Amino acid sequence: MRAVVLLAIAALLVSGCDSEAPAPPVPTSHPVTATSAAGTTASLTPARRVFDPAHVQDGVWRVLTESYLITAVGEVSCPGGEDVVAGRIFECTVDIAGEKKKVTITVRDADGGYEVSQPEP
């Protein structure tokens, strides 16, 4: 009986060695998402970039006083929510010697560079 069991085990081992290698796993693809530590899923779409109006207002004031050498520049007011996108154009209002004037802001590049026009007459 022992011989029969040993022969059966030997036959199984030999037949296992002769069989073909298992098929490689089939590659799969899954959608990519990011999950925060809290477990919420977030999109991998880049966040919308907008200008900080306070920084643009400071920049406009500097350009008007330092580059255009305009004196009596008072309050500068720029809108919020303006996208940082090359070619985007928006206006800021500037108080110059008690008069409200408009300057045009033209966004030069996606890094946030912009040009400030001379005030409208």
Q: How far apart are CA 46 and CA 77, in angstroms?
A: 28
**3-class DSSP assignment, residue 60:** helix
**Whole-number pLDDT of residue 6:** 36
Find the range with the poorest average confidence among 25-34, 73-82, 90-99, 101-110: 25-34
Confidence of residue 51 (pLDDT cuts 50, 70, 90): very high
Please, which residues bridge with residue 116 across strands? 105
pTM of the model: 0.62
Where in the chain does DSSP place strands (E)? 34-35, 41-42, 73-77, 89-96, 99-107, 114-116
**Percentage of residues of the chain with pLDDT beyond 90:** 60
Helical (H) or strand (E) element with 11: helix 2-18
- The pLDDT mean for the chain works out to 77
- CB 103, CB 119: distance < 8 Å: yes
Q: What is the mean pLDDT of residues 53-65?
A: 98
